[in-house]
Amino acid sequence: MITLDAVDRALIHALHVDGRAPFTKIGDVLGVSTQTVARRYRRLRAEASLRVVGLPDPQRAGQAEWMVRLTATPHTAQDLAHALARRADTAWIKLMSGGTEICVNVQTPATSDHSLLLRDIPRTASITAVSAHQLLHRYFGGPDAWLGRANSLDAAQIAALTPAHQGPGKPLTGEDDALMAALQRDGRASLAELATATGWSAATVARRLADLQAGGTVFFDLEIDPAPLGATTQALLWMAVAPAHLDRVAKKLSAHPELALVAATTGSATLVAHALCPDAAALHHYLTHRLGALDAIRTLETAPVLRTIKAAASR
């Protein structure tokens, strides 16, 4: 497993602040050469599966977001997960505890027919149980970074790298499909490469990208193996919290460095969170000492993540 030093971690944090920042700018802010930044970036791509990806923020892009939990017959879960990964409407897919449960994040236009939820999944013979939970509100996650990868830069460095977006932003349209597909493959693709992918001029690409970023409709995220960052144990946490306490509890959880996602959801579990911890003992400590101290959490289900089959970038 790759070992990360202070420069690697600072570069990862810098790319979260601005995934398209030029290496010269990142080098200036970090106090290292452009060549060092480029060399470290290539190493992280090769050894830590690092990718910068451009993604729509579902809450700002007019999309409905769902967490679909599937239970499959033995020996079929992995094949089913890989089949789901090939679909355009699945954002990320995780193989869960026991190897027979799959959790799928589905993002579709709010006005779509939700064919994956209503037609395709029920017709799959190997699936023995399905539950679909709409995410009503993200408290943390998406444009926010898991603190395990965004804790290396000081306030001045963050300010120097933060893009100066102005204006109300623009919604996504069907004309943006080619642009978004290209950004999801490589968020650092050049304007010339994006122009080739869209058939637009480089100037048009630059203007459209600025419009989409200005209001947060599109953001740039990182895919990276969390293990080199100190997180070898992952779990999805499904919590039942009374509506009167939901907002308060969710906001408190959003400040926990162990969590990469906190969202209100439909179903008997009203909150879902994604925990990343150094090991099983650390997860146990988090559950018993941090979450256990919150009396408003009435029930808690912990579903360990065995493997990430698909990450957000490969939609």
Domain map of the chain by residue range? 6-57+150-223, 63-138, 230-306
CATH says 63-138 is which class?
A: alpha beta
Question: How far is Cα 272 from Cα 275, in angstroms, rounded to an integer?
Answer: 10
Question: What's residue 314's pLDDT?
Answer: 36
Question: What's residue 215's pLDDT?
Answer: 78
Q: Tell me the per-residue pLDDT of 272-302, one tens digit each, with 9 for 90 and over.
A: 999 999 999 999 999 999 999 999 999 999 9
CA 127 to chain centre: 26
Which residues are 142's β-sheet partners? none
Question: Using an 8 Å Cβ cutoff, are 89 and 95 in contact?
Answer: no
Question: What's residue 111's pLDDT?
Answer: 67
Structural tokens at position 290: 């941090």
pTM, 2 dp: 0.87
* Residue pLDDT tens, the chain, 315 long: 899 999 999 999 999 999 999 999 999 999 999 999 999 999 999 999 999 999 888 777 777 889 999 999 888 898 999 988 888 778 889 999 888 999 999 887 766 666 666 567 766 778 888 898 999 999 998 878 788 888 999 999 999 999 877 667 678 888 999 999 999 899 999 999 999 999 999 999 999 998 898 878 898 989 899 999 999 999 999 999 999 999 999 999 999 999 999 999 999 999 999 999 999 999 999 999 999 999 999 999 999 999 999 886 433
Question: What's residue 57's pLDDT?
Answer: 83
Give the type of residue at 160. A
Q: Structurally, what CATH architecture does the domain formed by 230-306 represent?
A: 2-Layer Sandwich (3.30)
Dihedral over Cα of 142, 213, 137, 100: its sign: negative
Question: What's residue 117's pLDDT?
Answer: 62
Question: How far is Cα 59 from Cα 253, in angstroms, rounded to an integer?
Answer: 20
CB atoms within 10 A of CB 53: 21
Q: β-pairing, 101-109 with 63-72?
A: antiparallel
Helix (H) or strand (E) holding 98: none
Could you tell me where the DSSP H helices lie in the chain?
6-17, 23-30, 34-47, 77-85, 115, 155-161, 177-185, 191-198, 202-214, 243-253, 280-285
Question: What's residue 167's pLDDT?
Answer: 67
Question: What's residue 315's pLDDT?
Answer: 33
What 8-state DSSP symbol labels residue 307?
E
CB atoms within 10 A of CB 98: 12
Question: Using an 8 Å Cβ cutoff, are 172 and 56 in contact?
Answer: yes
Do 6-57+150-223 and 63-138 come out as alike in CATH topology?
A: no
6-57+150-223 to CATH, choices 1.10.10.2890, 3.40.190.290, 3.20.130.10, 3.90.79.10: 1.10.10.2890
Which residues, at least 6 apart from 173, have a Cβ–Cβ distance to it below 8 Å? none
Question: What's residue 313's pLDDT?
Answer: 43
Closest CA to 262 of 213, 297, 225: 297
Per-residue CA distances from 91 to 27, 104, 107, 169, 242 (Å) = 32, 7, 6, 23, 29
Which residues, at least 6 apart from 79, have a Cβ–Cβ distance to it below 8 Å? 126
